[in-house]
């Protein structure tokens, strides 16, 4: 089940949901609107390698906007820092953003219970479009969890996206390979 506006407010008051900054005007019927932060990340290399640390170049979105182009992946970040306990947060694009041909995530719309950070957005566009820091970009909806949570995301030793940041974060997939490579070496 998805939390209603009243339940989201109740859980904020109970300390199970944190949104910074919080503005009551961004609370929808069953979601909370989040906004595009002022930083974008663009991968330095044209060819990405899942086993390597693919570094990004950070760009600050100018006040007069920034044009996104098709066939390029942009990493954005939400202005809002969130913490979620006992619920599963999902980030979806706003319909107005989708109608401009902007996708805000390739695959990572679901957070985990215990996720505490800003949200990195995997932004792609269908045609050139100008974006602005502070524009509404998505909405978080909260789902109930059925059962007790053994290990919240922020407590997992293997969690890769726990360092609080105001910048988009590049893929840490390479850490999966490094972990597996070192465990294979110790078996030999």
Q: How far apart are CA 70 and CA 73, in angstroms?
A: 8
pLDDT, residue 179, reads: 62
User: How do residues 17-74 score in pLDDT, each as one tens digit?
Assistant: 999 999 999 999 999 999 999 999 999 999 999 999 999 999 999 999 999 999 899 9
Domain 5-187, what architecture? Distorted Sandwich (2.70)
Active site residues: 122
Q: How confident is the model at residue 152 (pLDDT cuts 50, 70, 90)?
A: confident
pLDDT at 187: 42
Q: State CA 67 to chain mean position distance.
A: 21
**Overall average pLDDT of the 93-107 stretch:** 93
Q: What is the mean pLDDT of the chain?
A: 91
**For the chain, first and last CA: distance in Å?**
47
CA 140/CA 27 separation, integer angstroms: 10
What pLDDT score does 185 carry? 44
Residue 141: name the closest of 82, 183, 61 by CA: 82
Quick check: 78 and 35 in contact, CB under 8 A?
Answer: yes
């Amino acid at each position: 089940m998805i939390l209603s506006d009243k339940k989201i407010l109740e859980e904020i008051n109970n300390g199970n949901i944190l949104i910074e900054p919080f503005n009551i005007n961004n609370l929808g019927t069953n979601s909370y609107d989040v906004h595009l932060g002022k930083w974008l990340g663009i991968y330095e290399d044209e060819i990405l390698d899942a086993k390597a640390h693919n570094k990004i170049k950070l760009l600050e979105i100018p006040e007069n906007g920034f044009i996104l182009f098709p066939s390029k992946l942009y990493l954005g970040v939400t202005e809002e820092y969130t913490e979620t306990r006992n619920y599963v947060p999902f980030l979806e694009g706003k319909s107005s953003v989708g109608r401009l041909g902007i996708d805000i995530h390739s695959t990572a719309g679901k957070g985990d219970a215990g996720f505490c950070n800003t949200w990195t957005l995997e932004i792609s566009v269908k045609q050139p479009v100008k974006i602005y820091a502070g524009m509404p970009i998505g909405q978080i909806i909260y789902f109930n969890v059925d059962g007790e949570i053994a290990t919240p995301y922020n407590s997992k030793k293997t969690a890769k996206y726990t360092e609080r940041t105001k910048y988009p974060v590049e893929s840490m997939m390479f850490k999966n390979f490094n972990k597996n490579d070192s465990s294979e070496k110790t078996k030999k």
